[in-house]
Structure 1
């Protein structure tokens, strides 16, 4: 990644964004003066402002700082080749303001000025936003949106479960998995125990078969349980409002499940077109959901990270070490892209089931009394180094080669690998 300094630019600009307008501080290098302006949060206003910069600074680059890495502002500015976008962590701006404004007063032009000052003094420490290809950016948004919808579905499932427990808990026993259309359709059709007990056995069998539930033992057990079930309560003051709420929640849940299904198809199609697919498919436990997320985590630009440690720190997987006097302590890295960290941590957890050495490492650390979450984070730290090597060399992962390397080094993991 290219290192920049202020002499590479004709002007430095800080933008403090808002929903309806953006405050801008412009610092032309050759004048030593600050100019302030406000532009509306509209595509036409963005374009007019960006093109005016191009006219005033012909054939020159302009450095623009903002507290975002994505979103409408970045999408609007990224298409202009004469703008180089730098991202500044919002907490850095807030801490800078506190250092020089004891009253803790905040106003937008001041924040834009602070961004320019940080650009002037610390440009070499800032990250330049270098957009990936359109295909990679599309996949990145798809996998993040899917993860968000999955979390929404979990929250909604918990609400449905809690509501059914109030008046109709038997339905939760008949369907162990809630994120299915058979569960949604069953509750929609028979939202109370009273209604389902009136139904004939053949009607229930037809329902189960129409939803591809063909296990006779499971279906017979459900029907037997339905016919013998005893109501939790017969109080209509409890049943009717809870039944109404469940019907509303189920309707929402079905829409979410269909949305996730649609995103899965789009992700599969988009992921298939990437050349690096073969690399990320090779990692144990990645699967159709996590392999695309791992691809997005690395991107296609092989010069994006100098080494694995840069990614470990950026993703928030590498711990922060602090020292004061004779004391030293480590803690969780707070400032990092949350979704990126989730990707590595979630996949590391899955890898234990599919990777021989990952399972051995987990057992080794567990024997030392380490808690589960700490082990998974440590495992993610180790995996990133392996992922980085495969990504950098464009070589798929080979578990047997890694185990051979452990054997050559006489790794103590081998003892746990044998026992696990």
Structure 2
């Protein structure tokens, strides 16, 4: 490769630098973040030898957006450089710690000129895999937002309406439950809740989707709401009730978004060719499978070995050795979304696979704590998933010893 391009990404404009294989600056410019700017960039690269047969590699600090989508046409390699890594490269070019957008573009271009084998280009995922990634990540963000708003509501209710917390403390979902949100929206203060008749509580539970245990729960909740308890001043209580209703509006909206995004992600995931292989593993449902596919992708060249995938997911340990000292610990630099999905997968596998449960118990008996044993289990299962995806075969039924990828290949040959 004789020409390299670096782009310093910004919200309204982008600085571009094109260099040759000796580091000489061939061209630089600033483009706007619109179609005219993208065309100007493509024309500039074409003037320096960019073509469908020999595209110029590009280094940029982001992996998303319309600019990246425009550059990904054809076989061009796009390198998403971590901003922290770009900062370290900047220190190699000067000790004065000066910084400018055109200078950062030049640094990015030099980073792939000198160390291209050390950087991983963006995966060449299919359109369906990219769509699954968008929906699965949006669903995960919505779930996290739902929990954040629920925590805010819980903190507020604790200050003036603790009986509402006791009413759903031991129920799955807690304040996120549909019946809890419906009842609190109708009676956001202790005074209003104490006046709720039993029949209205039953109607609200039924309209929220409850089918069983309505009578018992309605009587229990009414008893809790009518018990004597400490109260805020009436005006303060009313103000807090108004704040609670505002939080409930946000919570209802994000709960609807979670449901809609979950359905869309699962529907798109089912249409992907890798879905049958992933769903054949114990503990992987539509939701976890969509998250795994979103982060792993379907570009088989991305992870040549299972070890690379394990390191990317944070499942493989990291070793720091110097002289006689050696430390083996967990990874902190990892794909947090994939790592979180792996925790859910490993935890669900405990009740769906005797082999996985036996492996988890052995790890606990050797001294691992819960999260450590789950991470070790995820590490083993991720290696099996990597093999099955490459071989395009479903998961082989687990033995009590939790078969390794080598054992699975032997069984497949038999």
- Please report the TM-score for the alignment, with normalisation by the length of structure 2: 0.88
Residue of structure 2 equivalent to 1:144: 137
CA 1:45/1:245 → structure 2, altered by over 3 Å: closer, same or farther? same
8 A contact 2:182–2:204 mirrored in 1: no
Give the aligned CA root-mean-square deviation in angstroms: 2.4
CA distance in 2, matches of 1:391, 1:201: 55
Does residue 11 of the first structure (1) align with residue 10 of the second (2)? no
1:329-368 alignment, distance < 5 Å: 329-368=327-366
Residue of structure 2 equivalent to 1:412: none
Does residue 164 of the first structure (1) align with residue 157 of the second (2)? yes
1:198-213 alignment, distance < 5 Å: 198-213=195-210
CA 1:52/1:121 → structure 2, altered by over 3 Å: closer, same or farther? closer
Q: Which moved more, 1:256-265 or 1:280-289?
A: 280-289
Residue of structure 2 equivalent to 1:74: 68
Q: How far apart are residue 17 of structure 1 and its match?
A: 0.8
- Please report the TM-score for the alignment, with normalisation by the length of structure 1: 0.87
CA 1:291/1:156 → structure 2, altered by over 3 Å: closer, same or farther? same
Residue of structure 2 equivalent to 1:51: 43
Aligned partner of residue 57 in structure 1, secondary structure: coil
CA deviation profile, 1:361-387 (whole Å, cap 9, x unmatched): 222222222222222222221111111
Q: Which sections of structure 1, spanning at least 5 residues, go unmatched? A: 1-5, 410-420
Paired residues, number:
398
Structure 1 residue runs of 4 or more that deviate by more than 6 Å after TM superposition:
none
CA 1:166/1:58 → structure 2, altered by over 3 Å: closer, same or farther? closer
Q: Which moved more, 1:377-386 or 1:325-334?
A: 325-334
Q: How far apart are residue 82 of structure 1 and its match?
A: 6.4
Q: Which moved more, 1:81-90 or 1:115-124?
A: 81-90
8 A contact 1:319–1:332 mirrored in 2: yes
Q: Which sections of structure 2, spanning at least 5 residues, go unmatched? A: 408-414
CA distance in 2, matches of 1:405, 1:350: 18
Q: How far apart are residue 178 of structure 1 and its match?
A: 1.9
8 A contact 2:182–2:208 mirrored in 1: no
Residue of structure 2 equivalent to 1:418: none
CA distance in 2, matches of 1:108, 1:153: 38
8 A contact 2:356–2:400 mirrored in 1: no
1:216-365 alignment, distance < 5 Å: 216-226=215-225, 228-365=226-363
Q: How far apart are residue 356 of structure 1 and its match?
A: 1.6
Residue of structure 2 equivalent to 1:24: 16
CA 1:201/1:82 → structure 2, altered by over 3 Å: closer, same or farther? closer
